[in-house]
Amino acid sequence: MAKNNPLIVIIPAFLVLSLMLSFAKAAPKNITTDQHALLALKDHIKYDPTNLLAKNWTTSSSICTWIGVTCGVRHHRVTVLNISYFGLAGTIPPQLGNLSFLQVLAIGNNSFFGSLPDELAQLRRLKRINFMFNSFHIEIPSWFGTLSKLQYLFLNNNNLVGTIPLSLGNLSSL
Ligand SMILES: *[C@@H]1O[C@H](CO)[C@@H](O)[C@H](O)[C@H]1NC(C)=O
Ligand SMILES: *[C@@H]1O[C@H](CO)[C@@H](O)[C@H](O)[C@H]1NC(C)=O
Ligand SMILES: *[C@@H]1O[C@H](CO)[C@@H](O)[C@H](O)[C@H]1NC(C)=O
Ligand SMILES: *[C@@H]1O[C@H](CO)[C@@H](O)[C@H](O)[C@H]1NC(C)=O
Ligand SMILES: *[C@@H]1O[C@H](CO)[C@@H](O)[C@H](O)[C@H]1NC(C)=O
Ligand SMILES: *[C@@H]1O[C@H](CO)[C@@H](O)[C@H](O)[C@H]1NC(C)=O
């Protein structure tokens, strides 16, 4: 009877498939991941008055030589993204959450708008966030409160709405 039960085949097949998917998800991130993330950001720029990124962020050179990008020596991953004062307008893609060694995210004094993707909550090493002087019309996301290494958070001069999340009270280094 059990021999004819299709579940006997389907359940193990499902288990193998989900195991494979969980490995795919856990694919190690490297400098190529960071390149994809920065190219996604470049794709989300709607206005670049001096063509700075168009000219400088080219795949013919290492992302570690791109303007505004700094890589760490030890892990060879992006540690600083500082594109403040570039005069850019655009949105933040979820791929930015893959810059897993990022310590500084500075996009101040541009015209970024739209939402802050929840994926940014994966940036556990962030110490400094500067989003000031942009066009974010958002509520401060509560996940900021999970970035436990955060020391500086600049959000001033946007169009913030709502209340300050209680979770920010958990940021003991802020
Ligand atoms: C990054 O990892 C991917 C697979 O996870 C691999 O194909 C690629 O060659 C790696 N890139 C570098 C620069 O190591
Ligand atoms: C991009 O800008 C950086 C910093 O100004 C410079 O060192 C690099 O040579 C530039 N790369 C290209 C391809 O223009
Ligand atoms: C980012 O770049 C700006 C302009 O070059 C500079 O004034 C600022 O100190 C930098 N911020 C960080 C956090 O490195
Ligand atoms: C990076 O982020 C995007 C969107 O969050 C995701 O689809 C992608 O698989 C991620 N991983 C890598 C290694 O690029
Ligand atoms: C950022 O830009 C705004 C408006 O363009 C300007 O008023 C402000 O002084 C700038 N902030 C800094 C720190 O220079
Ligand atoms: C603060 O952190 C603790 C421990 O991670 C958590 O249980 C609590 O919900 C957090 N508080 C807020 C307001 O998010």
pLDDT (tens digit per residue) in 43-97: 999 999 999 999 999 999 999 999 999 999 999 999 999 999 999 999 999 999 9
- Ligand lying closest to the C-alpha of residue 37: 4
Instruction: Enumerate the domain spans of the chain.
Output: 29-170
Q: Domain 29-170: what homologous superfamily?
A: Ribonuclease Inhibitor (3.80.10.10)
Q: Give the mean pLDDT of the chain.
A: 90
Around Cβ 108, how many Cβ atoms within 10 Å?
A: 21
| Ligand 4 centroid distance, CA of 23 (Å) | 14
pTM, rounded to two decimals? 0.86
| Ligand 1 centroid distance, CA of 58 (Å) | 19
- Ligand lying closest to the C-alpha of residue 132: 5
The pLDDT tens digits for 45-58 are 999 999 999 999 99
- Ligand lying closest to the C-alpha of residue 64: 2
Is 58 a pocket residue for ligand 2 (Cβ < 6 Å)? yes
Q: State which ligand 4 atom lies nearest to the alpha carbon of 98.
A: 1
Please tell me the predicted confidence (pLDDT) of residue 13. 54
| Ligand 6 centroid distance, CA of 125 (Å) | 18
Q: For residue 122, is pLDDT > 70?
A: yes
The percentage of residues in the chain with a pLDDT greater than 90, rounded to a whole number, is 84
Please tell me the predicted confidence (pLDDT) of residue 4. 59
